Amino acid sequence: MSAADDGDFSKRLSSSFLWSFVDKWVSRVFTLAVFVILGRVLAPSDFGAVALATAYVALVTIFVDAGFGNALIQKKDLSAADIGTAFTMSAGIGLVLGGLSFAFADLVAVVFDAGQVSDVLRVLSLALFVQGLSSVPAALLERRMQFKALAIRRTTATLLSGLAAVIAALAGWGVWALVVQSLGFAVIGGVLVWVSAWRHMSFRFSRRSLRDLTRTSFDVFGIQLVGYANSQGDRLVVGLFLGVEALGQYFFAMRIISLCVELFTAVFSNVGLSAFSKLQDDIPRLRELLNRLTGITSLATIPVFAVLGAFADQIVPFVFGEQWLAAVPVLQILVFLGAINALLVFDRPVLIAVGRSKTAFLLSLAQTAVGLGFVVLGAPWGVLGVAPAVVLRQYLFWPIRLYFVARAIQLRVLPYVRGWLVAMLALVLGWLAVLALQPPAGIAVSAVGFVVTVCGVYAILARSEVLQGWQTIRRFRKR
C-alpha cells in the first residue's frame, strides 16, 4: 500500500468510524428511549411473543441473504455480473421464504404453544421480502465504506419506526406496537438503502459469478446460521420450554445487554470487516488495528456493564417499572456476557478478512453445539439456569477462538487482551467499592465511589489507551 493509498485509507476509515458512531449512538439512544417507554406500557408476555416471532424472522433472513452480502464485501475484484447474481438470488429467496412463512405461521405458533404468535409472524413475514431486495445494496454501500448513507438509513428508520411504536403503545395496541416497530424499521430502512444504490441493481445472472461468490458465501452463510443458533438458540429454548412470559423477562434483560454492546462495540465492528478486508495483505497493520479497536471498545464498554450489575435492582424498577423485577437477577448475570463480547466482537471478522472463513465457520459450529447443550441443561432451572449457561459458554470457548486468530495473523496475546484485562480489573474493584459503601451509604455515594475507582484504575493502567481514544474522538469531531 503506497503512502497516498495509506492516507486515503486512513481518511476513509476515520470517516467510516464517524458515521458508524453517529449511526449507532443516535439510533441506539433513541431505541433505548423507546424501549423504556414500551417497557413501562407493555407486559412481559407481549415482549415474549414478539421475541419468538422476530427470532424466527432473523433465522429466515440468514437464508435470504445466503452469505452473498459478505461475499461481495470480501471479494477483491467485483463485477456487475457478481452484483446482479447476488441480487437475483437474494430477491428470489426473499420472495419465496416470505410467502412460505406467511402460509405456515400457524404451525410455528403450535410448536411454541403461543397462539398470538401466528398473526404477528404473518405480518413480520413481509420483512423477509424487503430484506431480499435490500441486502445486496446495503452490502455494496458497506464495501465502499459509505457508512454515511448507511447511518442515515438506519437512523431515519429507527426514529420513524420507534415513534410509530410509541404512538401505537400509548393508543393501547399492545403487542402490535412492537410489531409496528420491527416491520417499520425493515420497510423504511429497505426503501432508503434501495434509493442509495438502486442504479447498481439488476437481475443479471451468471453461473460463473455464482460459483465465485459461493466460495465465500457458503462459509459465511454457515457462520451466520451457526451464529444465529449461538445467539438466538437460548431464546428459542426459553420460549419452547418456559413460555412467552419467561421469554419476555429473559428477552428484556438480554435486550439491555445487546443495546449496550451495540452502543459501544458495534460503532467499530460495523466498520470492522470492511477495514480488515482492506488490510488483508498488510498483516502487521491489521494486527495493530485489531489490538487498538479491542482495547478501545473494552475500556469504553465494560464500565457500563459494571454499573448495570451493581445497580440493576434500583435501575430496573425505577426506569422500566415493577413488572420487570424478575429480570433483575438475569440482567446481573448477563453483564458478564456483555463484558466478554467486548473482547470477542472482532475475531470473526478478522478470520473472514484474511480468507479463513471456513475456520470461523467451524469455530462457530463447535461453540454453538457446546452452547446449546449448556442452555438445554440449564432450562429446568428456568431463566436463572439459562443465563449462566449462556455466559459460561462464551468464557469456556474464548481460548479456542483466540488460538486460531493468533495463528492466522501472528497475534501476541498480551497486547490484544491488555485493555480488556484493565477494564475487568476496574469492574471488579468498582463492584467491591459499591459493596463496601452499601447499605450504609446511599446510591449516590456508592455511584461516586464506583466512578472514582474506575477512573483511578484507568489513570494508572490505561492512560495511553484513554488518550488515544480521546484523540480519535477529536479527529472525528473535526471531520
pLDDT tens column, 466-476: 776 666 555 54
- Sign, CA torsion 203/205/210/213: negative
Question: What burial class does residue 318 get, using C-beta atoms within 10 Å of its C-beta: 0-12 exposed, 13-18 middle, 19+ buried?
Answer: exposed
122 grid coordinates: 404473518
56 grid coordinates: 424466527
Average pLDDT score, the chain? 81
What local confidence, expressed as pLDDT, does residue 249 receive?
92
What local confidence, expressed as pLDDT, does residue 228 receive?
82
Distance between CA atoms of residues 443 and 458, nearest Å: 23
Confirm whether pTM is higher than 0.95.
no
In angstroms, how far apart are the furthest CA atoms of the chain?
Answer: 71
Radius of gyration of the chain (CA): 22
450 grid coordinates: 464506583
Q: Is the Cβ–Cβ distance between 69 and 139 less than 8 Å?
A: yes
Return the H-helix or E-strand segment holding 437. helix 413-437
Distance between CA atoms of residues 433 and 117, nearest Å: 45
Give the three-state DSSP class for 411.
coil
CA distances (Å), origin 39, targets 34, 255, 323, 407: 8, 11, 9, 45
The ranges of the chain with pLDDT < 50 are 476-477, 479
68 grid coordinates: 452473498
| Chain Cα centroid distance, residue 334 | 15
Question: What burial class does residue 165 get, using C-beta atoms within 10 Å of its C-beta: 0-12 exposed, 13-18 middle, 19+ buried?
Answer: buried
121 grid coordinates: 409472524
